[in-house]
Amino acid sequence: MYSGPVVRKSHDHEIRRNAGPEANRGITILRQLLPRLGRLYIIAAQASHLPTRLQTVRYPMNAASTPRSITINGRRYKWPDKPVVIVCVDGSEPDYIEQAIKAVAMPWMQRMLSNGGTEFRAECVMPSFTNPNNMSIATGVPPSEHGICGNFYYDRETDREVMMNEPDLLRKPTIFKAFQDAGARIAIVTAKDKLRRLLGHGLTMHSGDAVCFSSEKADKVTMAENGVDDVLGMVGMEVPSVYSAELSEFLFKAGAELLKNWQPDIMYLSTTDYIQHKFPPGSSGANAFYAMMDSYCSELHERDPILGLTADHGMNAKHDEAGNPNVVYLQDMIDTLLGTDMARVILPITDPYVAHHGALGSFATVYLNRITDMPGLVRSLSDVSGMEMVLTNDEACRRFSLAPDRVGDLVLISGKHTVIGTSADRHDLSGLDAPLRSHGGISEQIVPIIFNCRIEGVENRILKNFDILDLALNHASS
C-alpha cells in the first residue's frame, strides 16, 4: 500500500488520505485552536485505524505571509500561483519532437502548440552533458557558478578522477531548496540515480514538503532519504532496467501520480537518453518513446499546471557510413606527440552508465604534467581531422562559462559526427548494439523549450535551457 506523501485538499492545506474519522476530528479541533501555525507534526496513536508514522498537517497560510518572490543565485522568481512542472528530456534535440509530430505520434503536443502553447529554441551549457545542464537548470546559473562542469573530472589536489555526482561539489544552492525553505512543496524524480542527490541537495526530506527519488533506485526509497516510501506501490511498476525506455516511463507515471495526489508547487522530472543514443529522430524506436511521453504530458496537462519541457543537450550520429564509430583517440595521439606520462586526457561524458555510448563524447579536457610548447601543441591538435576547436583553459572558461579549477589546461571539442576517446584499448564498445550516437560538443547545444501556455516578454532574449524556471515563474501567462 502506498504510504507516501500527504494528499493536498487545497493550497497549503493537506491531510492524509488514510487518516480515519478520529484523526480528522482531531485535525478540525487543532485547526480551530491553532489557525496561525504554519506546520504541526503529530505522532499518530498506536491504533489500528491510524498510521503509526509522523504525519504532516498544514494550515492555510495568511496571504500576507506567502512570499511574492524568491531571490536565489542573483535571480528573482515569482511565487507560483499554480503547480509548475518542468520536464528535462535527456538528449532531445528539437528534431525528435518535430519528426514525432509529423508521424502523428504526439497528438497532444501538436494540438497544444496550435492552441496557445509556446515553443523556443535555446542553447544548453557546455559541455553538452547531463550533469552540468541539469544543475544549471536547478540553480539558474552556468557551470562557472555552480561548479559542475561535466559528469567526471580530475582533481589535481588529490590526484583523483572523480564522478561529479556528490553534492559537496555543488557551489550554489538550488532553486528547489530556496522555494522549500520559503514554504513550497517540491517533487523531483530522475531516471538515473546519479542526478538525484545533486538535484535534491539541501532539501529537507522528512518535513513532508519534499520528495526526491530516482526510477533506478525506486525500490530502495525511505522517508528519511527520499521523503516517500513504497514508490513501486504508488507507480504500479517494477524497477525497469537502466538501459530501457521504461526507466523514463516510470518517472512520468510517478510524476503524474504526484501531481494528482500530492500537488507539489514545483515538480522537476529528468529522463534518460537511452533511446536518443540508440535511435535517430523519426525512427520507429524514437517515435514510440515520444508517443509515450506525449500521453503522460497530456495527463499532466489535464491537472492544469504550467508545464514546460526542455532538454539537457542534443544528440548526433557519430559514425561513418558503414556504422563504425568516428573516434579520435586523444591520449594515444598526445602520447605520440609529447611522450608517455606527459598528459592526462579526461572525458567528462564518463558516468556509471557507459554501455550505450562507450564513454565517447565530443568534449575532452587535457591536464598537462609540465609546461610544454602550448601554442605548438594547440596547432598540432587543431589539425587533427574531425577536431572542431582546441582552446586553452582560460579561453574555454571565458567562452563557455566554466569553472577554471575543474577544467584541464586544454579543452578539445570534436565536430558533429566525431567523438573523442582516450586510448583505443580503454574503451569497451561491445555494448553498442546500434551505430554510435552521442553528444558533448557545440553541435549538440541547440535544444527545445516548450510550454503549454503563452510566454510573454522574452522576445529579444537569447535563451538558455537554464532559463526555463525563469520563464515558467516570471513570464508564463496563466
266: CATH: 3.40.720.10
Q: Are residues 48 and 87 in the same domain?
A: no
Which cell numbers hold the place of 373? 610548447
Q: Are residues 88 and 192 in the same domain?
A: yes
Q: Are residues 334 and 426 in the same domain?
A: yes
Q: Are residues 288 and 225 in the same domain?
A: yes
Q: Is residue 223 included in any domain, yes or no?
A: yes
Q: Is residue 445 included in any domain, yes or no?
A: no
Average pLDDT, the chain: 86
Domain count, the chain: 3
Q: Are residues 60 and 77 in the same domain?
A: no
> Would you place residue 64 in the very low, low, confident or very high pLDDT band (cuts 50, 70, 90)?
low
Q: How much is the pLDDT for 153?
A: 86
> Would you place residue 36 in the very low, low, confident or very high pLDDT band (cuts 50, 70, 90)?
very low
Q: Is residue 158 included in any domain, yes or no?
A: no
Which cell numbers hold the place of 386? 574531425
Q: Is residue 388 included in any domain, yes or no?
A: yes
Q: Is residue 2 included in any domain, yes or no?
A: no
Q: Are residues 105 and 238 in the same domain?
A: yes
pTM of the entire structure?
A: 0.86
| Close Cβ partners of 323 (under 8 Å, ≥ 6 residues apart) | 435
Q: Is residue 322 included in any domain, yes or no?
A: no
Q: Are residues 225 and 248 in the same domain?
A: yes
Secondary structure class of 57 (helix, strand, coil): strand
Q: Is residue 159 included in any domain, yes or no?
A: no
Q: Are residues 87 and 31 in the same domain?
A: no
Q: Are residues 296 and 344 in the same domain?
A: no
In one letter, which amino acid is 434?
A: A
Q: Residue 206: which domain range?
A: 73-141+165-314+453-477
> Would you place residue 151 in the very low, low, confident or very high pLDDT band (cuts 50, 70, 90)?
confident
Average pLDDT over residues 207-226: 95
Q: Are residues 106 and 245 in the same domain?
A: yes
Q: Is residue 28 included in any domain, yes or no?
A: yes
pLDDT tens per residue, range 352-388: 555 455 689 999 999 999 877 899 999 999 999 999 9
| Close Cβ partners of 22 (under 8 Å, ≥ 6 residues apart) | 47, 49, 50
Q: Are residues 248 and 362 in the same domain?
A: no
Which cell numbers hold the place of 102? 509529423
Which cell numbers hold the place of 101? 509530430
Looking at 22, 43, 65, the residue that finishes a domain is 65
Q: What percent of the chain has pLDDT over 90?
A: 75
Q: Are residues 102 and 205 in the same domain?
A: yes
Q: How much is the pLDDT for 370?
A: 81
Residue 233 CB neighbour total at 10 angstroms: 11
Q: CA triplet 445, 466, 251: central angle to 5 degrees?
A: 90
Kindly report each contact of residues 227-232 with a partner whose C-beta sits within 8 Å and lies 24 or more positions away, as own/partner: 227/4, 227/5, 227/203, 228/4, 228/5, 229/3, 229/4, 230/1, 230/2, 230/3, 230/4, 231/4
What dihedral do alpha carbons 125, 108, 291, 119 form, nearest 10°?
-20
Q: How much is the pLDDT for 49?
A: 26
Which element (helix H / strand E) includes 13? strand 13-15
What CATH number has the domain bearing residue 432?
3.30.1360.110
